[in-house]
Amino acid sequence: MDIVKAELCDAELVKQLSHDTIEAVYPHYYPRGAVDFFLAHHSMDHIIKDIEEGNVWLIYSDGKAVGTVTLNGNEINRLFVLPECQGKGFGRELMLFAEKTIFSRYDTAKLSASLPAKAMYLKNGYEFSEYHIIDCNNGDKLCYDYLIKRKS
């Protein structure tokens, strides 16, 4: 497993990893309007901006990108592992990398927890901070928790 900083030429790859994961996993947890919200939120414009700011990382296995994470200050964003690669430790490696990077400069790590990942975050020491609801298309709602972990 190698974790490397994404470059502009990786923007389409980051988008594909994000969108493939959202399309495969999120419909089991969220209504269509919320899934569409996630897809729009992880747009090419947002990805390019984050890459230009040096905030996006990719994890590779056997030369293939299998996941990504974005770090904005002390906030973990866009942590996705391809569905066929989940359960193999890639998400854990991305979390360890993200926390090590964040805790080298900050006392807390923060994230918005999607329903599919919330249990993993709680298991790894994150605690509830805030509850949010976003109105989406078709009258659908996106509900999520904002979590925080303190440096130990």
Query: What is the residue-level pLDDT of the chain in tens, covering all 152 positions?
Result: 899 999 999 999 999 999 999 999 999 999 999 999 999 999 999 999 999 999 999 999 999 999 999 999 999 999 999 999 999 999 999 999 999 999 999 999 999 998 888 998 999 999 999 999 999 998 999 988 999 999 98
Instruction: Return the pLDDT at 120.
Output: 87
Phi and psi (nearest 5°) for 73? 65, -120
Strands 64-72 and 75-81: antiparallel
pLDDT of residue 152: 86
Determine contact, residues 130/145, Cβ cutoff 8 Å.
yes
- Please give the structure tokens belonging to residue 35: 């899934």
**pTM for the full model?**
0.93
d(CA 9, CA 12): 7
Cβ-contact 14, 47 below 8 angstroms: yes
Domain count along the chain? 1
The domain of 69 spans: 2-150
> Domain with 86 in it: what CATH number?
3.40.630.30
